[in-house]
Amino acid sequence: MSAGGALVLFSGGQDSTTCLAWALERFDRVETLGFDYGQRHRIELECRDTLRTGIAALKPEWAARLGDDHTLALDALGRVSETALTRDTAIAFEAGGLPNTFVPGRNILFLTFAAALAYRRSLTHIVGGMCETDYSGYPDCRDDTIKALQVALNLGMDRRFVLHTPLMWIDKAETWALANDLGGQALVDLIVEDSHTCYLGTRGMRHAWGHGCGQCPACDLRARGFSKFTAEAVPPSDA
Ligand code: ZN
């Protein structure tokens, strides 16, 4: 068990729910932070309470460690970024190769606000679900961006925050496997049923991998990862 409490960037999606379980396994006090920036998939914010209650029910020690929840409204981020995540336009790839769901600097802002809150709450560790492995090329998900930001935040706030990104080098199938390692089938089931990933904010029908439109890049990634995870999870036959 590491010393010092943790603040988890907790959106209510698959990745951040896995990160929350990862943090509950490691830190004696874990608080959560969600951002409302006018995202089309704001429904993910409504999943947060259900997920927090569900995850606390999985292990008594997790229930004991799970602390306060915080939400911050970042309306300004929605106003400066006219992207497919905050506007009712089709998701597409732009000339630069990035999808138009890219909100410039989103994770830089999120982590900066998280550090300001962690400072006030005397929390040392900040945990986020950024991932370089099968991301959409978002530059603020890169390991180097996070490491540079850790240095900048520690210099600028005169603290020794540690930024953790447990999903940085694993793919979506391995993220499902990590959830399984941390909380077993019960955690996998909770993530399938109650986390939200779909960019369009559609709960839609219940697929094997959870709810969503089934078509957008986020649903596609989640569905393909789940299918790979369940295929790998099948024990080999004796033959
Ligand atoms: Zn979708």
Percent of the chain clearing pLDDT 90 (strictly above): 66
Report residue 76 CA to chain centroid gap.
21
Q: In the predicted model, what is the mean pLDDT of residues 156-180?
A: 96
Rounded-to-integer distance, Cα 147 and Cα 139, Å:
13
d(CA 221, ligand 1 centre) in Å:
10
pLDDT at 92: 61
Rounded-to-integer distance, Cα 90 and Cα 93, Å:
10
pLDDT band of 95, cuts 50, 70, 90:
low
d(CA 104, ligand 1 centre) in Å:
21
* CB distance 211 to 203 below 8 Å: yes
Query: For residue 16, is pLDDT > 60?
Result: yes
Query: For residue 79, is pLDDT > 80?
Result: no
Superfamily of domain 6-197: HUPs (3.40.50.620)
Average pLDDT, the chain: 88
* CB distance 39 to 79 below 8 Å: no
d(CA 151, ligand 1 centre) in Å:
35
pLDDT at 74: 87
d(CA 230, ligand 1 centre) in Å:
20
5-19, 22-36, 210-224: range with lowest mean pLDDT: 210-224
d(CA 91, ligand 1 centre) in Å:
10
pLDDT at 136: 62
How crowded is residue 159: how many other Cβ atoms within 10 Å of its Cβ? 15
Q: In the predicted model, what is the mean pLDDT of residues 105-112?
A: 92
Rounded-to-integer distance, Cα 151 and Cα 41, Å:
31
pLDDT at 39: 72
Q: In the predicted model, what is the mean pLDDT of residues 191-197?
A: 93
pLDDT band of 69, cuts 50, 70, 90:
very high
d(CA 218, ligand 1 centre) in Å:
6
pLDDT at 97: 60
d(CA 199, ligand 1 centre) in Å:
5
d(CA 135, ligand 1 centre) in Å:
15
Q: In the predicted model, what is the mean pLDDT of residues 104-128?
A: 95
Rounded-to-integer distance, Cα 11 and Cα 61, Å:
22
pLDDT band of 83, cuts 50, 70, 90:
low
d(CA 24, ligand 1 centre) in Å:
28
Q: In the predicted model, what is the mean pLDDT of residues 139-148?
A: 92
pLDDT at 30: 98
d(CA 7, ligand 1 centre) in Å:
27
- The phi and psi torsions of 156 (rounded to 5 degrees) equal -75, -25
d(CA 12, ligand 1 centre) in Å:
15
Query: For residue 45, is pLDDT > 70?
Result: yes
Q: Which of residues 234 and 31 earns the better pLDDT score?
A: 31
pLDDT at 203: 83
d(CA 44, ligand 1 centre) in Å:
12
d(CA 8, ligand 1 centre) in Å:
24
* CB distance 39 to 13 below 8 Å: no
Give the residue among 142, 140, 144 at the shortest CA–CA distance from 132.
142
pLDDT band of 139, cuts 50, 70, 90:
confident
